[in-house]
Structure 1
Amino acid sequence: MNISSLHNFLSGTTRKRPVLINTDKENLAANIDSNIPTKQARVALGSALSDTNTSNSLPYSPPEDFIIKTVDSWSSIDSDQVHLTPAHERRASNRSETRYKNGSFRQVLKWVRSLGQYGDGNNAFREPNSVAWLECGKLAVVDTNAHCIKVFDSETGQFEYSFGRGRTLGCQNLLYPYRIAVVPGGDDELVVIQRHPRPQIHVFSCKGELIRRFGQHLEKPRALTVDQSHRILVIESQLQKLHMFSLDGKILFVFNLNEQLQFPTSICSNNYEIFISDNHLHTIKVFSYNGQLIREIKETNYITYPTNIKLNSKGQLITIDNHQGLNITIYDEYQQKKRLGAYTARICHSQILDVAIQPKQNILHLASKDYRVYTYQLPL
């Protein structure tokens, strides 16, 4: 003990920290003792940015960076700040990569661009349940929990307009739209299925003007398509019924397919055959327009849990399933007896809700559960 310390000890002036009672140590006052270093208050980063309504409105809660990220247009792979794939996995786009997955070899694809985030803005979605490509070059996305349809330029991703509840005069009664299809070879009229609170079908112009509504007798509509003759085909889940309407709402046929189907998920048509995917039977079933089963497309390890099916301009069948990620399989136009290609995505999508195809370019637009629409270029 040196002389100064001994003097302080004898005089009773030893230096001690002040005793603070019931004080939060994270928020100490800065001027308690100028000679005593104090801990500065910490700020809880991001606490004011979290969306308190997320957990109440949807069962899936997106990551924080996904909520706060502003997306004004298509996001390219290089400039997207949301890192969906690890940096060490990024490779040159012209290099082919093959992956063995679920018992089959598949070529790996990277998405070209993406659009969206969680929210209520023009470039945000609350639940993008369906997507459709218009012949005028637009992309229509059904936002179920926002009760509207949003339309974008399919090349630039620029938001064009939206319509639906509270957005367009005459459309205020559109609630929880679920699926969408485009009337081909016409003026891009849009056919929309509403599931709640009363299932029905709405027909809109491409600008969102309500033309008519019908189909109030539907119970569990799951998917729809419009063929080249402008017949509207609707498949119901749980009931396994196939409904056929004219564009003006007249009921043409109703077929009960409960002996052939268990859980239909998607439907498409080449104008003389009707293709229906069944998730539980792991197959694609082909029916005539008389409701008769013609054939079945079934291939182990390639058609596992199909969620969506589409036909391109050549009549080739594109099947989508989400078993352990995105899986795409393409079959030829001649009764789909030959497999033309099998592909998978580099990232594992949380859940695929719906897909749309640009037929001539084989460009696939995919609506995902993570509130985004991804674009993939399929090999020609």
Structure 2
Amino acid sequence: MMINSSGISRKRAFGSDKENVWSTMLGIEANENGLVIKQPRLALGAAAVDHNIFNSIPYSPPDNFFLTSVDPWSPIKSEPIPLLCTPDHRTVNRPETRFKNGASRQILKWTRSIGEYGDGNNAFREPNSVAWLESGKIAVVDTNAHCIKIFDSESGQYLYSFGRGRTLGCQNLLYPYRLAVVPNGNDQLVVIQRHPRPQIHVFSCQGEFIRRFGQHLEKPRALTVDKSQRILVIESQIQKLHIFSLYGQILCVFSFSQQLQFPTSICSNNSEIFISDNHLHSIKVFSYTGQLLREIKDDIYIQFPTNIKLNSKGQLIIIDNHQGLNITVYDENQQKKRLGAYTARICHSQILDVAIQTNTNILHLASKDYRVYTYQLLF
């Protein structure tokens, strides 16, 4: 309000003050009597244009990528805006790579995913482990649902499930945690339970209960079954390795408290035992007599290993969860040569377990986002 020389007050005209400079942009105007007139609002994005449209892309487009400029205030034209990249023989068939944590990795895109959160047939509450069966099926451990779910590995279609309250005559499962398939054993499944009742169960691939043992286990973390059908179980926190026969006899027990800090995964080529250690950032290789043979260490490519697998050629596949999914492959000759390094196009929340198809390099990864992803490695 302003007071003139005659002492009469008058109102300040609407829009005459800098404080009201944004009123017209908000669709607000005043008539000659000072009354507010509401105008139609502009469409989102019509009042301002971001001329740096590529700032949200994590990498720059190639030099030959072009975008025709368009006047944002002109009428919309019916002709499409060309967004095509001119062919360049230098980039044809060249794999997309990403420089990550000091290492160059080829970017992979998953070929299929199954699952979501829930209690349905195609849903999981905690998919902690996955295994590929020789009959062409995928078995997934759903820990909080206390069951094992079976899917077709080609189509991803749900087939059946078994476990607690699922199959008549089946031994109930309580928090099943890890899963392994018996080689040349008609797809028998070895399942290990976690706290509060750690033990080992053996089932047929149809879910028929066969036997259970290993009630003395304390902190089972991972297991595998070698070609001689020996069951190897590694315990975290207490760093113990247990070796059982398929029928439950204890063959040997080793304490690796001096060699390990936090073991996360285990696999075997039937003569050597590979154990990943998340805290030591390496893979330790032991004999079946408990002797430490060597250590696989690669500071740039092996940082926080969580899962390891051997393919049919004996090549070692290491899964690392450091800042997303990282996959590194080493050769079969004492893992001295790196064959490939990969990362995922998307940033997975956490990979819980990995299965590999026999005679292929197709990986099935159980993720903490309640899905199982399939990747194809090329090397």
Specify the code of the residue in structure 2 equivalent to 1:289.
Y
Q: Name which one, 1 or 2, has greater alpha-carbon Rg.
A: 2
Letter in 2 for 1:143: D
Assess if the C-alpha contact under 8 Å between 2:140 and 2:149 holds in 1. Answer: yes
Determine if contact 2:311/2:359 at 8 Å carries over to the other structure: yes
SS for the counterpart of 2:289 is coil
Q: Which residue of the partner structure matches residue 261 of structure 1?
A: 260
Post-superposition offset of 1:172: 4.8
* TM-score normalized by the length of structure 2: 0.75
Deviation at 1:168, TM superposition (A): 1.2
Match of residue 159 from structure 1? 158
Partner of 1:245: 244
For 1:279, the equivalent position in structure 2 comes to: 278
Contact 2:171 2:209 in 1 (8 A): no
Tell whether 2:327 aligns with 1:314: no
CA contact (8 A) 2:267 2:273 kept: yes
Contact map agreement 1:311 1:359 (CA 8 A) in 2: no
> Which structure 1 segments of 5+ residues have no match?
1-87
Q: Report the equivalent of 1:77.
A: none
Q: Tell me the residue number matched to 1:361.
A: 360
Distance in 2 (alpha carbons) for counterparts of 1:170 and 1:351: 35
Residues 2-81 of structure 1 correspond to what in structure 2 (within 5 A)?
none
One-letter identity of the residue aligned with 1:232: I
C-alpha contact (below 8 Å) 1:166/1:172 kept by paired residues:
no
In structure 2, the partner of 1:79 is none
Query: Any conservation in 1 of the 2:203–2:211 contact (CA below 8 Å)?
Result: yes
Report the Cα offset of residue 169 of structure 1. 2.1
Q: Please show how residues 169-208 of structure 1 align to structure 2 within 5 Å.
A: 169-208=168-207
Equivalence for 1:46: none
Alpha-carbon distance in 1 for matches of 2:284, 2:171: 38
CA deviations on 1:234-274 (whole Å, 9 max, x unpaired) are 00000000000000000000000000000000000000000
**Distance in 2 (alpha carbons) for counterparts of 1:204 and 1:372:** 24
Equivalent residue letter for 2:113: S
Please name the residue that 2:376 is paired with: 377
* CA distance, structure 2, for counterparts of residue 230 and residue 323 of structure 1: 33
1:171 Cα deviation (Å)? 3.0
SS in 2 for 1:178: strand
Question: Structure 2 CA distance, aligned partners of 1:111 and 1:325?
Answer: 14
Structure 1 residues 94 and 127: CA distance shift in structure 2, 3 A: farther
CA contact (8 A) 1:149 1:162 kept: yes
Paired residues of 1:262 and 1:280 also in contact (CA < 8 A)? yes
Work out whether residues 316 and 331 of structure 2, in 8 Å CA contact, stay in contact via their aligned partners in 1.
yes
The 1-side partners of 2:255 and 2:118 are apart by: 40
Q: Which residue of 2 aligns with 1:328?
A: 327
- Partners of 1:158 and 1:374 lie apart in 2 by 14
Aligned residue pair count: 290
C-alpha deviation, 1:96, in angstroms: 1.3
Residue number in structure 1 paired with 2:16: none
Q: Which has the higher helix share?
A: 1
* Pair 1:289-2:294 in alignment: no
1:86-101 map, 5 Å: 96-101=95-100
| 8 A Cα contact 1:365 1:375, kept in partner | yes
1-structure distance, mates of 2:252, 2:320: 29
Q: Distance in 2 between matches of 1:192 and 1:307?
A: 19
Q: Which runs of 4+ in 1 moved over 6 A?
A: none
Question: Deviation string for 1:55-110 (max 9, x for gaps)?
Answer: xxxxxxxxxxxxxxxxxxxxxxxxxxxxxxxxx9xxx9965101000110000000
Distance (whole Å) between structure 2 residues aligned to residue 93 and residue 176 of structure 1: 49
Q: Tell me what 2:228 maps to.
A: 229
Paired letter, 1:140: A
CA deviation vs aligned residue, 1:281-314 (integer Å, no higher than 9, x gap):
0000000000000000000110000000000000
